[in-house]
C-alpha cells in the first residue's frame, strides 16, 4: 500500500499518510467519528443491560 504523499523530503509540507488522497482521509475521519459516537450508543446499551440484570 503506497501511503506516502510526496516524492521527496525537499519541499514536502503535509507528510501524513494519504495526505494526497482526500477520499481516503475523509474515509478515515468518518470511521473515527463513527467509532467515537457509536461507542456512546454502545455504552448506553451496556448500562441498560447492566441495570436490568440488577433489578
Partner 1 sequence: MEQQIAELTEKIAALEAAQGMSGTINSEIFYWWCTALMIAIHAGFLAYEMGASRVKNVLASGIKNILAFAFMVPTFYFFGWYIYLAFYNGFIPAEDGLAGLPWDASMGPNLADNATGIFWAAFTLFAATTASIFSGAVIERIQTAGFLILAILLGSVVWILGGAWGWHPAGWLTVKWGYHDVGAAGVVHMVAGFFALGVLINLGPRVGKFNADGSANAIKAHNIPFTITGLMLIIVGFFGFLGGCIIYMPGEQWINIYGQPATLSAFAFNTLMGMAGGIIGAWVKTRDPFWMMSGALIGIFCAASGLDVYYPPLAFLLGCFGGFVVPMVAVALEKMGIDDAVGAFPVHGIGGLIGVVACGIFASGYPNVIEGAPPVNFFGQVGGAIVMGLLGFIPGYVASLILKAMGLLRVPDHIQEMGLDIVKVPVEAYPENFIPGPVNTTDPVATPAE
The residues binding partner 1 (CB under 8 A) are 12-16, 19, 22, 25-26, 29, 32-33, 36, 40-41, 43-44, 46-47, 49-51, 53-55
* CB of 32 vs partner 1, minimal distance in Å: 6
Minimum separation from the CB atom of position 25 to partner 1 (A): 5
Residue written as grid cell 523530503: 9
5 and 23 Cβ atoms separated by less than 8 Å: no
For residue 44, what are the CA distances in angstroms to 3, 14, 40, 48, 51? Answer: 37, 38, 6, 6, 11
**Least distance to partner 1, CB of residue 45, Å:** 8
Amino acid at each position: 500500500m503506497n501511503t506516502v504523499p510526496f516524492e521527496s523530503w525537499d519541499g514536502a509540507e503535509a507528510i501524513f499518510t494519504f495526505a494526497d488522497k482526500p477520499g481516503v482521509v475523509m474515509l478515515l475521519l468518518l470511521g473515527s467519528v463513527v467509532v467515537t459516537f457509536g461507542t456512546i450508543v454502545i455504552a448506553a446499551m451496556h448500562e441498560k443491560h447492566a441495570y436490568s440484570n440488577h433489578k
